[in-house]
Structure 1
Amino acid sequence: MAANWYRKNLGGALMVEPNIASLKEQCQSLGGPFVAYYRHESLSGLHCDFIVYFPPESSTLAMLVKAKVCDAPDQHDLSRLI
């Protein structure tokens, strides 16, 4: 069975900076080397949301921030956040 990926919507791309800072602080508090990727996605409406994807090896961080299980994302347009 393949390990799970996780995703977390941090909200509108224009207002996401405090949420990113909080995520990075939580990562540091856990003390582990974690990886997270992001992409701007238009889920509905005019504005894009800032979606963070956590690979299986970052599941501890993903669960801490209450990310939801998802399929592995398409690698197109993913950028590393952490």
Structure 2
Amino acid sequence: MNTMIDDVWYSCNLGDAMLADPALDRIEAQARAVFANAINTDQCAVYYRHESKERLHCELVLYFSPLAARMPMGAELQACAKPARQDLSILVGKVSSWSLLFPDS
């Protein structure tokens, strides 16, 4: 399947969820500042989920929508598949982003 560049999601694994607060706070503040100055942020969102991947401790993984990932966030982002909506929470973005970014959910 051929994926257009605008459809690519990005993730950032902050590691152990118990230790992720400083990085999470920094990325959240940056995203809020960037989104506040953006013209159209309806499809800009950063989501997060605690993922264990069969390990003892869970990791905090952030997911950046395609438009959000194009904005300067100061985080190391890795291209990834669109995350499943299950257990995602929104970190930064409009509530309307849920229906725009996950229309089948």
TM-score, normalised to structure 1, is 0.83
State the percentage of identical aligned residues.
33
**Count of matched residue positions in the alignment of Structure 1 and Structure 2:** 82
Please point out which of 13, 37, 51 is paired with 2:47. Answer: 37
3-state secondary structure, aligned to 2:63:
strand
1:44 deviates by 4.8
- Quote the Cα distance in structure 1 between the aligned partners of 2:32 and 2:50: 24
Structure 2: segments with no counterpart, 5+ residues: 93-105
CA shift in 2, pair 1:35/1:4, >3 Å: same
Q: Which has the larger Rg?
A: 2
SS in 2 for 1:75: coil
| Displaced runs of 4 or more, over 2 A | 28-34, 60-64
Root mean square deviation, CA, Å: 2.0
Relative contact order, higher structure (CA 8 A, sep 6+):
1
Paired residues for 1:1-82 under 5 Å: 1-2=3-4, 3-30=7-34, 31-32=37-38, 33=41, 34-61=44-71, 64-82=74-92
Amino acid at match of 1:73: P
Q: What is the alpha-carbon distance in structure 2 between the residues aligned to residue 29 and residue 16 of structure 1?
A: 20
SS for the counterpart of 1:74 is coil
- Cα distance in 2 between the residues matched to 1:63 and 1:29: 9
Counterparts of 1:52 and 1:70 in 2: how far apart (Å)?
Answer: 11
TM normalised by structure 2 equals 0.67
